[in-house]
Structure 1
Amino acid sequence: MRIVVDGFGKFIGVENGLITVKEKGKTTAKFRAEELNQLIISGKSAISSEAIKILVKNRVDVVFLSEDAFARISSPLIGTVKTRREQYLAYNDKRGVKIGKEVVSAKIRNQSAILFNLAKSRKDANPEIAEELTRNRKEIEAYREEVLKIDAEKIEDVREKILGLEGRVSDIYWDSIAQIIPREYGFKGRKGLETGSPRYAQDIVNAMLNYGYTILFSECIKAIELAGLDPYAGFLHADRSGRESLAVDLMECFRQHIVDRVVLKLISHSQIKPKDCTKKNFVCSLSDDARKLLLSEILRRLEEKTQYRGKNLTFSSVILAQAREIASFLIGKSDYVGFSQNW
């Protein structure tokens, strides 16, 4: 069970062995720690050290979430040392190349699927936009074929080439998305205050995407750890101090169907509007209501079921399954194919 504590002045503590949530001194909820798999604390809430001890003892993932950052308290790494040793070795052989290519290939397939569905839904109402989306979809599919042709002995030799192709595809994808978002939202692509980076959003769409990806990133780190892998040792994304590069790799396959689709839906239904963004220090900040709605919709999406390898699994379970497939591939037990979905 996943629990969200959101709002100002709430306190998470322990009473009679139960995890409790209090607001203005009154208990609003009680849970047994063993019933939980994740506790998300969003907003200005507090938690006692006793509650943290019980949650960690029961391997509950505790996430502190804000618009531009998050922190986690989790149990020590699990799994076998052999898996992590193979993970480090794979960085210098063809396994790392395979994972890097699969991640980008799957990401492009998912971007293509989003554009296909957007074009299909506009075929009658706006045929010109539909045709352009279709052209752009075909163009990014051609780039995917280029990715698949890449070969090397280790990922370092081809990382820049793979990321270069991924970057071109992303430019086409976001330029396409910008065309179907109403002008009043001010979205002109994945851009932020920093040049070449979407950080420090200047418009509400980028603020929504950044927050949504932060939620997804936390889910991917949890999956990587449960699979017995080192989240800091990635393949497509190079090592950087403090960055969980493997979790970023894994996340690339899920951005489109978990976050992008939710953001586009909320905008198309006018559930979140431009007025739900205020500028603080030149950065767009979501209103509390918009942030809570987006968090709720992303978490709901994670619990939605989809077909995966012949099974009906939640997206959260698919993320974990993908992490475990990477681990299995690294120790030579199975192949790895990045997650993609055509609808």
Structure 2
Amino acid sequence: MNPLLISGFGTSINVDKRKLVVTNKLQNKRLEFAPHKIEHDSIIIDGHTGNISFESMRWLMKHNIHLTLLNWDGNLLATTLPDQTISGKLRLFQYKKHLDGIIRYSIAEKIVKSKIDSSLNLLLELSKFYPIDKNEIKKRFEAEFEIFRTKSAKNTHKIPEIMGHEARIAKIYFEYIRDVFGKLAPQFSFETRSSIDHKRADHAADEINALLNYGYSILAAEIKKSLNSVGLDTQIGFLHETLLSRTPLVYDCQELFRWLIDLSVIQLLEENKLKKSDFILTENYHIRLKQSTAKLLVDKIKYNFNLKVSYGKKYFAYQNILNNNISQLAQFVGDRKKTLEIKIPPIKINRDDNLELRQKILSMSPEEGKKLGINKSTLWYMKKNVQSKDKMKIYDKILEKLE
């Protein structure tokens, strides 16, 4: 993943002497990309004024680069996708499997299981750095699993049951994520993903939800691109219901990687002390991201989706893993594979400053520090950093002494 974020009043995109040119005269910015030498794989347009020429849109399509248009609140408004792999036979198989209750349920169950496994893994990773009781998490998740297994044993194969299971797990998950957000950014007063006037989180009432909405929109655009490339119909899903003006298959596949957006937001808050002035309050009292904040978030999401993890016998970026899982789904739907396996490798958060190490620093006396070769002033600064920073770097020489 390597998107180019375009935002700001008066931005224009056109083609000049075979080159794609992005300009903003007010900001005195100009970007040029020669044919077949552009490193970006998508362009995100987050703005309300500006222009794009027909020739530049043709240039982007020829280079297999899709456009993503975000609404005023950061939600996905539209995408322009490269040429689609059209397979009438695949779509007929997709419709048939959607109408088969047992097959549809089996696909939905695998999607939900993958989401829950990834959510649990993220919480356990976060428990290394935040006061989260990992044993309590495991017990609560397992208790919900047991309830669901008991119901599943009746072989009802009803989609509302598995969606209810997913919703209950999501509620537990966000209870802990809320505590992390509360520690990182108490000034943003995050409570829940929904608000009183909107059951869905379409209009962010706080800054955390604005960040999450923006991230989920970028994820949705990537999934649309991948589904488009394999020829699946985005309007026919397996977990989410088919509704007017909705793309349930996009929502289905989003569930597999929402946790990576959540992690990106957490990491952004850890590394950048965002303030309320980094957001825009609209006349309807909704929150949206400023251009500089959006760029920070896009960069963090880009980093995480390009992170390579063990997948099979090799290492692949999460972007490639997303595409591979959608390809696996297409092969199963089209009867080219007899079984469906959804596999999302767990992430490992690599940080030195875990809770145990932080507590060791805080409880260390000057005498104990002296024995380890840590002088009083160094120990004082270490304790100050532990108390004031959500994420801190512990240098290797100090880390060796503490271990």
- Tell me the TM-score range normalised by the shorter chain: 0.7 to 0.9
Aligned pairs for 1:1-343 (under 5 A) are 2-24=3-25, 27-32=30-35, 35=38, 37-43=41-47, 44-66=49-71, 67-93=74-100, 94-122=102-130, 129-131=131-133, 133-144=134-145, 147=148, 150=152, 158-180=158-180, 181-182=182-183, 183-192=186-195, 194-256=197-259, 258-280=260-282, 281-334=284-337, 335-343=339-347
Cα distance in 2 between the residues matched to 1:193 and 1:31:
49
5+ residue gaps, structure 1, are 123-128
**Residue-by-residue CA offset, 1:240-282 (whole Å, 9 max, x unaligned):** 11211101101101010x2000111122334423442343112
What amino acid is the match of 2:88?
A: V
Return closer, same or farther for 1:284/1:201 CA change in 2, 3 Å cut-off.
same
Report if aligned partners of 1:115, 1:134 keep a CA contact under 8 Å in 2. Answer: no
Partners of 2:153 and 2:240 in 1: CA distance: 17
Task: Kindly state the Cα deviation for residue 110 of structure 1 after the two structures are TM-superposed.
Answer: 0.9
Does the 8 A contact of 1:221 with 1:244 survive in 2?
Answer: no
Q: How far apart are 1:97 and its partner, in Å?
A: 1.3
- State the Cα distance separating 1:146 from its structure 2 match: 5.1
Give the secondary-structure state (helix, strand or coil) at the position aligned to 1:82. helix
Whether the 8 Å contact between 1:152 and 1:158 is mirrored in structure 2 is: no
RMSD: 2.5
Separation in structure 2 between the aligned mates of residue 145 and residue 31 of structure 1, nearest angstrom: 57
The structural deviation recorded for 1:144 is 4.0
Structure 2 Cα separation of the partners of residues 342 and 244 of structure 1: 27
CA contact (8 A) 2:21 2:30 kept: yes
Equivalent pair of 2:321/2:344 in contact (CA under 8 Å): no
Partner Cα distance (2:271, 2:24) in 1 = 33
Shift of 1:235: 0.8
CA distance in 2, matches of 1:65, 1:195: 19
CA distance in 1, matches of 2:86, 2:135: 44
- Deviation at 1:33? 5.3
Q: Is the 8 A contact 1:119 1:134 kept in 2?
A: no
Partner SS for 2:78:
strand
SS at match of 2:12: strand
Query: 1:213 touches 1:259 (CA, 8 Å); kept in 2?
Result: yes
> Separation in 2 of the partners of 1:113 and 1:164?
21
Cα distance change, pair 22–282 in 1 and its aligned pair in 2 (3 A): closer
Q: Secondary structure at the match of 2:214?
A: helix
Query: What is the Cα deviation at residue 225 of structure 1?
Result: 0.9
Distance 1:275 1:104, change over 3 A: same
1:6 and 1:45 in contact (8 A); partners too: no
Q: Give 1:77 shift.
A: 2.8
One-letter amino acid of the counterpart of residue 177, structure 1:
I
Q: Share of identical aligned residues, percent?
A: 26
Whether the 8 Å CA contact 2:18–2:34 is kept in 1: the answer is no
Compare CA radii of gyration and give the structure with the larger one: 2
Shift of 1:213: 0.3
Aligned-pair CA distance for 1:145: 5.4
- The SS at the match of 1:324 is helix
Do the aligned residues in 1 keep the contact of 2:76 with 2:218 (CA within 8 Å)? no
Q: Are the aligned partners of 2:44 and 2:69 in contact in 1 as well (CA < 8 Å)?
A: yes
Once residues 155 and 143 of structure 2 are traced to their aligned partners in structure 1, the CA distance between those partners, rounded to angstroms, is 24
Cα gap change, 1:170 to 1:27, in 2 (>3 Å): closer
* Number of residue pairs aligned between Structure 1 and Structure 2: 333
1:189–1:304 CA distance, 2 compared to 1 (3 A): same
Kindly indicate whether the alpha-carbon contact (under 8 Å) linking 2:84 and 2:230 is maintained by their aligned counterparts in 1: no
Deviation at 1:76, TM superposition (A): 4.2
Q: TM-score by structure 2 length? A: 0.76
TM-superposed CA distance for 1:197, in Å, is 2.0
Q: Distance in 1 between matches of 2:70 and 2:36?
A: 20
What is the letter of the counterpart of residue 9 of structure 2? F
